[in-house]
Amino acid sequence: MLNVENLEVNYGMIRAVQNVSFEVKEGEIVTLIGANGAGKSTILRTISGLENAAAGSIVYEGQDLMKLASKDIVSQGISQVPEGRHVFQGLSVRENLEMGAYLRKDRDGIEADLEIVYERFPVLKEREKQDAATLSGGEQQMLAMGRALMAKPRLLLLDEPSMGLAPIFIKEIFRIISDINEQGTTVLLIEQNAKQALQVADRGYVLETGKIVLSGSGEELLNSDQVQKAYLGG
C-alpha cells in the first residue's frame, strides 16, 4: 500500500531523515519506534505533504505522493492524527469531527460515520456540544482520532498517540487502534512507547538519528536484546 524508498529530509544543514526505506502492506499495523528526535514525526509529516523531501520517493497505491499537495493526499485516503492532538479550540466536539469530513460531499454518509465514531468513543457523544479545548488529554486524543476517521481513510497515520496520557488512557488508545485496524483500516504508527506499539504491530522499524537500524515483526523486536536494552528497560 505504501512504499517509502531512500527518503531524505533536511532542516537546513541538519539531516533529519537519512536514506530511510520501509513499506506498509494493506491491512497491517506498522510502527516506527525510536527516541525523541530520531526522525519519526518528520517521516510522517513528509508522507502527509507537510514537509518537503530532499531525495527519495513515497508511493501510495502506485501514486507518487511527493507530487501532491496535503489536501490531495487526504483525498487519496490518507489521514493523520498529529502529535499533540491539535483539536480546534472554540469549536465543539461535533464541529471538530465534522472538520475531518471537510472534503466529503455525502451528507448522509457523514451523519452515519458520526454515529460510528460516537459508538467507538462514547465519551465524545456525551461531550458533543462541549468546546474541544475543555476535554482531558485522553479525550482530546480520542477526538483527534475520530476526526481523522471522519475522512474515511484507508491508511491512518498516528503520531505519538500515547504522549502525555495517563496509563489507563494509553491502554484504551491502543485497544482502539487494534479495533480500527480489525475494521479494515491500515495503520502506520509512530511511538516512543515501544512496548505498547510493538504489542499491537504486525511489523516494526527502529529509527536512530534519522536512520533505520533494525526491522522485524512486532514480536521479534519485542524480544530483541537491542530493543529491550534501548527502549524497554531490559
Phi, psi at residue 203, to the nearest 5°?
-140, 160
For residue 87, pLDDT beyond 60: yes
What is the tens place of the pLDDT at every residue in 38-57? 899 999 999 999 999 999 99
* Whole-number Å distance between alpha carbons of 65 and 59: 6
Q: Is residue 98 part of a domain?
A: no
- Closest Cα to residue 135, out of 101, 93, 176, 163? 93
**Is 41 in contact with 159 (CB distance < 8 Å)?**
yes
Judge whether 155 lies within some domain: yes
- Has residue 97 got a pLDDT over 90? yes
Please indicate, yes or no, if residue 171 is contained in any of the structural domains.
yes
Domain annotation covers residue 69: yes
Can you give the pLDDT at residue 68?
94
Which carries the bigger pLDDT value, residue 57 or residue 173? 57
146 inside domain: no
Domain count, the chain: 1
Confidence of residue 103 (pLDDT cuts 50, 70, 90): confident
What is the rounded distance in angstroms from the CA atom of residue 105 to the CA atom of residue 112? 13
C-beta of residue 163 within 8 angstroms of C-beta of residue 192: yes
Quote the percentage of the chain above a pLDDT of 90: 75
List, for residues 129-170, the tens digit of each pLDDT value. Answer: 999 999 998 899 999 999 999 999 999 999 999 888 888 888
Q: What does pLDDT average to over the chain?
A: 92
pLDDT, position 213: 94
Does residue 80 fall inside a structural domain? yes
Question: Does residue 36 form part of some domain?
Answer: yes
Please say whether the beta carbons of 225 and 234 come within 8 A.
yes
The confidence score (pLDDT) of residue 234 equals 54
Per-residue pLDDT at 233 exceeds 70:
no
Helices (H) and strands (E) in the chain, counts: 10, 10
**Residue partners of 155: CB distance under 8 A and separation at least 6:** 1, 2, 24, 60, 77, 78, 79, 185, 186, 187, 188
pLDDT at 229 over 90: no
- Give a yes or no: residue 91 inside a domain: no
Confidence of residue 88 (pLDDT cuts 50, 70, 90): very high
Full residue range of the structural domain in which residue 11 is found: 2-86+151-231
* 15: CATH: 3.40.50.300
* Mean pLDDT of the region 200-222: 95
